[in-house]
A and B are shown apart, each in its own frame.
Chain A
């Protein structure tokens, strides 16, 4: 299972046949294992990994640190669930350390993201403060290097 997850994490578009060959099993077994992982919720989805700098239209994203007053009985869950419903929000994490929630917001422009923070997030009652950090450049995302793909410097043939 672990090796299967590692391969899918490397490339979710490997066919079952390809995975089977690499893991020395058959395609049916792979299909069954993947279904099992999906049913259990270990695999929650498949998405391409975009390099937004090259995508059109370009998008901007920001990491927002939120300090939150925890609510009685619900702690941080209620507010987190509220925030995650917004389509602008890519991810929401509860954090240890100097702030509570980390929210990744994606928009078309810096302005759009800033306005979402100011008007929507900052005005929510349990939120004490926000700090917005815009992503200026992605060097690596989800384990994939997005810049300077290193050329093979080994030449073409050696013995």
Chain B
């Protein structure tokens, strides 16, 4: 008998299995589950973008592309970033096309982390940063953000965690799971600290287009002195409902992109060619699609926030992404208890906040990638749940 535990890399063994695995299993065995648990658009990819993919396949776009990605696509990304967010990146040297934003995050962490580097990760946050950091022998230093600060990273919180070993900060705003955003002023408040301490930044901006304020998304790379120490991660999944196409990108100083490409060319070769052609269409002709889904998400956002507040599960106003993050402490249950009981008694699936870091305890993540009809039914069941729990 082989003892596989002795064979497998210790860092990998140490990655805890996802805390929400049990809900997956529980929910999978149930009929009539109403889920508000999926972090993926319910919309399909707009038809003209799908057509561009089909056309690419018809015309024989079935080979590898340049390791960095099609030059037309990189140019389209550069034009798009300039047009929408006033970000300046050179298509030929500062942009690399990846398999979703996920690969860009993975590579960015791997090229920057050396053993024992400390990586600052504001929580609650998306679940991939910690395990990838650990696998690279980095040390995860969580920064607990709170509702008091609207789940933003404040200069005070940041300073408390900086040591001589601090290498990197990962920020992700608009944020999954809280829906928090960081405005220009918020980022300007932390930038000098980062520069002073020579800290690099991975800015995961996958939800950049889903910002429901009157201002457009602002990237930390727009602050003078920050672009040279920042890798911006973007993607097509959330913006154009293109999750299954697996397409994203990393932008940064060419000296960093040159290192990213080293791993990418050996591990991946190039992002799917047909997806890249669809991506060109999305960037060049998809601004209206963005406006349409954003309007729809925004309506749902107001509807669901209002719904939770009425139930007494107070939400801070989420200004971005497609999640609300209601506080469930008034029920005297932990996040896990709440989710488990809600699922077993009312067949409604949501994700416990602590799945996104310890500071998510006392909250649940609720996605509004669902029709109003669906959301209404879920809220009705939630009301029922709250009533029976308080008896």
Contacts and interface: CB of A to CB of B under 8 A. Distances in A.
Interface in B18-54: 18, 20, 23-24, 27-28, 33, 35, 37-40, 42
Contact of A18 (B27, B39, B303): B303
A141 interface: no
A22 B304 CA distance: 9
Interface string A121-159: 000000000000000000000000000000010111111
Given A11-B373, A22-B372, A156 B28 contact: yes
A113 to B, nearest CB: 34
A23 interface: yes
B358 interface: no
Contact of B299 (A11, A22, A152, A155): A22
A156 B35 contact: yes
A157 B27 contact: yes
B351 interface: yes
A156 B306 contact: no
A24 interface: yes
B28 A21 contact: no
B302 A157 contact: no
A21 B306 CA distance: 7
Given A155-B38, A159-B355, A23 B299 contact: yes
B12 interface: no
Nearest to B347: A156
Report the contact-size class of chain A (Cβ under 8 Å from the partner).
10 to 19
A159 B237 CA distance: 13
Interface string B311-351: 00000000000000000000000000000000000000101
Contacts of A22: 299-300, 302-303, 372
A24 B355 CA distance: 32
A154 B372 CA distance: 17
B127 interface: yes
Contacts of A21: 302-303, 306
Nearest to A24: B302
B359 to A, nearest CB: 17
A156 B349 contact: yes
Nearest to B302: A21
Contacts of B299: 7, 22-23
Interface in A1-48: 7, 10-11, 18, 21-24
Interface in B282-326: 299-300, 302-303, 306
B85 interface: no
B126 interface: yes
A158 B37 contact: yes
B215 to A, nearest CB: 17
Interface in A72-125: none
A157 B306 CA distance: 23
A72 B27 CA distance: 70
Interface of A: 7, 10-11, 18, 21-24, 152, 154-159
Interface of B: 18, 20, 23-24, 27-28, 33, 35, 37-40, 42, 126-127, 176, 299-300, 302-303, 306, 349, 351, 355, 372-373
Please give me the 5 A-B residue pairs with the lowest Cβ-Cβ distance, nearest first: A157-B37, A156-B27, A156-B35, A22-B299, A21-B306
20 contacts: A7-B299, A11-B373, A18-B303, A21-B302, A22-B300, A22-B303, A22-B372, A23-B299, A152-B35, A154-B38, A156-B23, A156-B37, A156-B349, A157-B24, A157-B38, A158-B39, A158-B40, A159-B39, A159-B126, A159-B127
